[in-house]
């Protein structure tokens, strides 16, 4: 989703370029890390769990960077169309997913 923000005027022409680039690059990094972590877990690589930690920290960092900027820019007062639905559904789902992954990772630490 974030890379689509980097295409100017894709959804809303009022997005500041700095916001779009930050969100786009962090989303792209998170997606690449997620794919690598999934492959590592499937193949039971020895560094799979540390890689999941890295993916989850970067992904959660992306969210806690993007959400305050989004609300700080008061973009909720703009006619964002479909992108508003993406923020309130996909954004919340990914936030909760990262929380769940952190819970599982911390439980894994306690069992060792």
14-30: pLDDT as tens digits: 677 777 778 888 888 99
Alpha-carbon distance of 61 to 95, in angstroms, equals 10
Helix (H) or strand (E) holding 71: helix 48-72
For residue 38, pLDDT beyond 70: yes
Counting residues of the chain whose pLDDT is more than 90, the rounded percentage is: 43
| Torsion-angle region of 95 (φ positive above 0: left; ψ -120 to 50: alpha; else: beta) | alpha
Residue 32: what pLDDT?
A: 94
For residue 99, pLDDT beyond 70: yes
Q: Taking residues 88-100, what's their average pLDDT?
A: 90
Residue found by looking up tokens 């993406």 in the block: 86
pLDDT digits (tens, 9 = 90+) for 63-73: 898 888 777 87
């Amino acid at each position: 989703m974030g890379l689509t923000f980097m295409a100017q005027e894709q959804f809303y022409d009022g997005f500041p370029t700095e916001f779009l680039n930050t969100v786009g690059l962090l989303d792209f990094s998170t997606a690449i890390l997620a794919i690598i972590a999934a492959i590592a877990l499937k193949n039971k690589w020895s560094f799979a769990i540390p890689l999941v930690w890295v993916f989850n920290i970067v992904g959660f960092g992306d969210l806690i960077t993007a959400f305050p900027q989004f609300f700080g820019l008061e973009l909720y007062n703009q006619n964002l169309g479909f992108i508003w639905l993406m923020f309130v559904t996909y954004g919340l789902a990914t936030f909760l997913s990262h929380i769940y992954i952190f819970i599982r990772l911390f439980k894994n630490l306690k069992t060792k």
